[in-house]
Amino acid sequence: MTAPRSNWLANAMSAEALRRFPQSIAGQAIFAVGLSLMVNGGIGLPSWEILHQGLSYNLGITIGQAAQLSGLFVILLWIPIRQAPGLGTISNIVVIGFVMDITLNTMRLLGVPPQEVLSQNLPVALALTVIGTGLVGLGSGIYIGSGNGPGPRDGLMTGFHRVTGRPIWLVRTVIEVLVGLVGIALGGTFGFGTIWFALTIGPQVQFWLTRIDPTGRAKRQSLSSSRR
């Protein structure tokens, strides 16, 4: 049974949610740094980042700005499926794109070669991809474990799962494949990193969640947000 709409805002702004909010921000920042390393590695990105990279090429904006625009659009899709955001949902849209751009700009200022160069150095590209995926897993565990609401894309997945009754793995797969295909068509990078991320991110998030949120309470709060 879902929570009445009148309870949603109260839950999102509760003392417990506010206390855990810095944890959510920290997790999202680590998540963003991990994605930035994968971008600079240049040998493949997760499906949504393939889309964001493709959008950045075609719209003449940064990949972080593309991620923020994508997050805002996805939040609009929450309305018909009656999915309720939390503080972490809103900060996800702002923080991840912002930190990605800062990280990528800082790497350029420090003289780190662009992805076009690093992708030709396979050991370095693999290291950036593996370390980046690991940071995304750690960051995911931290911010999901804060219980401050799912990210826009996770909420879209759980919302469609609830509305359609389809298995969550099927809903996620369909969304990821469609998003990835659009991103590839727009020029985003598909490659080893895409496959590595798909195969390893689930176990890595699970590993960190069991340590950060051993009872599963915060995880359940984040992934079950809905309203009447």
Structure-token match 């195969």, residue found:
199
Q: Which of left, alpha, beta for 83 (phi over 0: left; psi -120 to 50: alpha)?
A: beta
Distance in angstroms (rounded) separating the CA atoms of residues 18 and 153? 22
Q: What is the pTM of this model?
A: 0.88
Domain contains 51: yes
Does 228 map to a domain? no
Residue range 151-169, pLDDT digits in tens: 899 889 888 888 888 888 8
Q: Is residue 137 part of a domain?
A: yes
Out of 6-15, 51-60, 115-124, give the one with best mean pLDDT.
51-60
Mean pLDDT of 112-132: 95
Q: What pLDDT was estimated at residue 206?
A: 87
Q: In this predicted model, what pLDDT tens digit does every residue of 174-198 receive, in sequence order?
A: 999 999 999 999 999 999 999 999 9
State how far the Cα of 184 lies from the Cα of 58, in Å rounded to an integer: 12
Predicted local distance difference test score (pLDDT) of residue 159: 86
Average pLDDT over residues 77-105: 91
**Could you tell me if 53 and 188 are in contact, meaning their C-beta atoms sit under 8 angstroms apart?**
yes
In a domain, 57, yes or no: yes
As a whole number, mean pLDDT of residues 20-28 equals 92
pLDDT computed for residue 220 by the predictor = 57
Residue at 222: amino acid letter: S
* Three-state secondary structure readout of the chain: CCCCHHHHHHHHCCHHHHHHHHHHHHHHHHHHHHHHHHHHHCCCCCHHHHHHHHHHHHHCCCHHHHHHHHHHHHHHHHHHHCCCCCHHHHHHHHHHHHHHHHHHHHHHHCCCCCHHHHCCCHHHHHHHHHHHHHHHHHHHHHHHHCCCCCCHHHHHHHHHHHHHCCCHHHHHHHHHHHHHHHHHHCCCCCCHHHHHHHHHHHHHHHHHHHHHCCCCHHHHHHHCCCCC
The pLDDT > 90 percentage for the chain reads 61
Residue 82 — pLDDT band, cuts 50, 70, 90? confident
In a domain, 154, yes or no: yes
- Summarised one tens digit per residue, pLDDT across range 93-112 is 999 999 999 999 999 999 99
In a domain, 174, yes or no: yes
For the ranges 6-10, 76-80, 166-170, the maximum mean pLDDT occurs at 76-80
In a domain, 124, yes or no: yes
pLDDT of 23 reads 92
Looking at residue 1, its pLDDT comes to 39
Task: Give the model's pLDDT for residue 152.
Answer: 92
Q: How far is CA 60 from CA 53, 65, 73, 97, in A?
A: 10, 10, 18, 15
Residue 221 has pLDDT above 70, yes or no: no
* Domain total of the chain: 1
Q: Tell me: pLDDT of 69 over 50.
A: yes
Residue 66 in any domain: the answer is yes
Give the pLDDT score at 4.
Answer: 45
* pLDDT of 223 above 70: no
Boundaries of domain holding 35? 5-223
Matching residue, tokens 């740094």: 33
Percent of the chain with pLDDT strictly greater than 70: 87
